[in-house]
Amino acid sequence: MLTPEVDGDDAVGVNDARQARDPLRTDVLIVGGGLAGAALSHHLAKNGVETLLIERFDLNTQASGSNSGSIHAQIPNEPFTTHGEAWTRTFAPTVKLMMRSIELWATLGAELGVDLEVDQPGGLVCAFNEADLAGLRLKLRIEREQGLEGHLLSRSELRAIAPYVTERAIGGVHYPIEGKANPLIAAPAFARAAARLGARIMTRTALIGLTVRQGGFDIATTSGTIHALRVINCAGAEAGQLARMVGLDLPIEAYPIQTSVTEPTAPLIGHLLYAAGEKLSLKQNRLGNILIGGGWDARLDGQGRPVADMASLVGNLKVALGVVPELGSVDVVRTWAAIVNGTADWKPLLGEAPRTPGFFLCFFPWMGFTAGPVVARAIGDLVLGRQPEVDLGPFLISNR
């Protein structure tokens, strides 16, 4: 009953724990079936650790399967503009995490045996005035201190590599390693690979209570009680509620945001495109659809579900058209909203709870699609008692 059933190559096996008479036991319980949870399940299974992942809905139905698929390395433009240089310097160490994650993305498809549609045409930030350019220069200097490669472009250099960008742009910065992957494919691919290695996965199973006991945890779920020696909180936007069950009060927030997609069109946008000081991410997928995002607010309906906001859509399209005028001839066919896991200072929250040994948090806000592979591996290494390959020091919840 507890062995994963992998149905052909597409389905992730789900154990019907509801029929189990005895409470379930596991070494590591992973809560949350988004990218973080699925990637952790895979990393631990690969290293011979017994895991059980529970997901209250189906796998990849929240942020990890609803995002825009951008693979970022740079410090994001919007908080850089609004929070200023002091914030930028404290945020800067995350650039190293993102860079390492992008290296992992480049080979993940081969490891998981799935084409994750990873493309790295480079990211391009456009500047429209001298103040933008001065800001981009400062940001690039801070990013280079973290080892990120980026190139300042003059107006003519920008036009040479991105003729589709408006002539109003006076220059920009090119980050060669940035790009995109397909969010619909990534987390399920990790989950399938984990299940093949013996990891157990239970969907439609919500954690509703957690008691710390000697040497482990009793977890109340909608499918019965689970006993676990260790717990990893990968609950995304809900991670704060779960952390509070062990007395951890963390500044985790949930924001509804939206992304739009156009009809397929001939190749137009060759990069992951941003605009200095604006909320914008623009890219074209392999089918020719253009994804238009940048973290614009969506709203909640009367039942608390995220729904698209028309004013944000208009604002987002206006910025996009200002950067790529040719977009005016392409129809937007869909806008969707989802909840993103956030923190006001944009910094990740990672590691073992200081006063609850065995309770781990794997939480990367706003850009957790990019960072999923690296943070899952790092938290998995902590669980394995290994030194993570990346420096988690600035982000450890034990250091806060």
Q: Does 35 bind ligand FAD (CB under 6 A)?
A: yes
- DSSP β-ladder status, 253-262 and 332-342: antiparallel
Chain positions 40 to 59 lying near ligand FAD, rule: CB under 6 A, are 54-57
Residue 391 gets the label, from left (phi > 0), alpha (psi -120 to 50) or beta, of beta
Q: Does 70 bind ligand FAD (CB under 6 A)?
A: yes
Chain positions 368 to 387 lying near ligand FAD, rule: CB under 6 A, are 368-370, 372
Please select the residue that binds ligand FAD; options are 95, 193, 199, 207, rule is CB under 6 A: 207
Say how far residue 21 (Cα) sits from the centre of its chain: 37
Shortest reach from residue 233's CB to ligand FAD, in Å: 9
Q: Does 62 bind ligand FAD (CB under 6 A)?
A: yes
Shortest reach from residue 168's CB to ligand FAD, in Å: 25
Compute the distance between CA of residue 273 and CA of residue 175 in angstroms, rounded to an integer: 10
Span interacting with ligand FAD, options 3-11, 33-41, 246-254, 380-388, rule CB under 6 A = 33-41
Q: Please say whether the beta carbons of 197 and 78 come within 8 A.
A: no
Please select the residue that binds ligand FAD; options are 14, 17, 34, 109, rule is CB under 6 A: 34
Q: Which is nearer to ligand FAD, 153 or 234 (CB)?
A: 234
| Cα dist from 287 to 43, 116, 284, 330, 331, whole Å | 31, 14, 8, 14, 15
**Which tokens go with 178?**
């940035």
Compute the distance between CA of residue 24 and CA of residue 338 in angstroms, rounded to an integer: 32
Q: Please say whether the beta carbons of 205 and 53 come within 8 A.
A: no
Please select the residue that binds ligand FAD; options are 234, 276, 382, 390, rule is CB under 6 A: 234
Shortest reach from residue 155's CB to ligand FAD, in Å: 28
Please select the residue that binds ligand FAD; options are 184, 206, 300, 307, rule is CB under 6 A: 206
Q: Does 33 bind ligand FAD (CB under 6 A)?
A: yes
Q: Does 31 bind ligand FAD (CB under 6 A)?
A: yes
* Number of residues located near ligand FAD, criterion CB under 6 A: 42
3-state secondary structure of 26: strand
Question: How is the chain split among helix, strand and coil, in percent rounded to 5?
Answer: 35, 25, 40
Tell which residue, 260, 266, 273, 259, has the closest CA to residue 121: 273
Q: Which is nearer to ligand FAD, 133 or 291 (CB)?
A: 291
**Which tokens go with 234?**
């990968």
Shortest reach from residue 191's CB to ligand FAD, in Å: 11
Q: Does 67 bind ligand FAD (CB under 6 A)?
A: yes
Query: Is residue 249 exposed (0-12), middle (13-18) or buried (19+ Cβ within 10 Å)?
Result: exposed
Q: Which is nearer to ligand FAD, 133 or 337 (CB)?
A: 337
Compute the distance between CA of residue 374 and CA of residue 380 in angstroms, rounded to an integer: 10
Q: Which is nearer to ligand FAD, 31 or 327 (CB)?
A: 31
Shortest reach from residue 134's CB to ligand FAD, in Å: 27
Question: Phi/psi at 101 (nearest 5 deg)?
Answer: -65, -40
Neighbours of 327 (CB within 10 A): 20
- DSSP β-ladder status, 349-352 and 359-363: antiparallel
Q: Which is nearer to ligand FAD, 69 or 150 (CB)?
A: 69
Q: Does 191 bind ligand FAD (CB under 6 A)?
A: no
Tell which residue, 255, 254, 244, 256, has the closest CA to residue 397: 244
Q: Does 293 bind ligand FAD (CB under 6 A)?
A: yes
Chain positions 128 to 157 lying near ligand FAD, rule: CB under 6 A, are none
Single-letter amino acid code for the residue at 13: G
Tell which residue, 180, 164, 162, has the closest CA to residue 172: 162
Q: Which is nearer to ligand FAD, 238 or 381 (CB)?
A: 238
Please select the residue that binds ligand FAD; options are 340, 353, 374, 382, rule is CB under 6 A: 340
Residues that bind ligand FAD (CB under 6 A): 31-37, 54-57, 61-64, 66-70, 72, 206-207, 234-238, 257-259, 293, 338, 340-341, 364, 366-370, 372
